[in-house]
Amino acid sequence: MTGILVFCRNCGKQVSSTEMRDGLCLDCRVSASLADLRREHARLWRKRERYRSAGANFGSIGRQVARVENRMADKIRELVSNDKQAGEYLKRELEAARGERYNLLPPRARGG
Ligand SMILES: [Zn+2]
């Protein structure tokens, strides 16, 4: 590990200066750049849930959600060059974005 240790000015975490950009650690940069998409995802997700519980057709909303998730994946890949790490960030973001509803699914249904 090269580079000195510095503090992220957002979360206060100590990270290597090589991972730091604009005073922010990678976690915070990913989180900040996904803020808009996360809000959009949450909006669509709630809408989808409303349609679903009302027995309406929510297929088209599901496709919009998938598009937002693809854009989230693209953004993460722009910021995180390591594929494995990018996958972990995406998984975490999607879990957070899908929120409670997602947590109700049995663990085995989460794959993919
Ligand atoms: Zn941070």
Q: pLDDT digit string (tens) for 82-110?
A: 999 999 999 999 888 887 555 555 455 54
- What does the pLDDT read at residue 101? 54
Ligand 1 mean position, distance from CA 13 (Å):
6
User: Which regions in the chain score pLDDT beneath 50?
Assistant: 106, 110-112
Q: What is the pTM of this model?
A: 0.78
- What does the pLDDT read at residue 2? 65
CA separation for the pair 62, 80 (Å, rounded): 27
- What does the pLDDT read at residue 90? 94
Residue written as tokens 């349609």?
51
- What does the pLDDT read at residue 8? 96
To the nearest 10°, report the CA torsion of 29, 34, 36, 37: 170
- What does the pLDDT read at residue 82? 92
Residues with CB under 5 A from ligand 1 (ion): 8, 10-11, 13, 25, 28
Ligand 1 mean position, distance from CA 23 (Å):
8
Ligand 1 mean position, distance from CA 25 (Å):
4
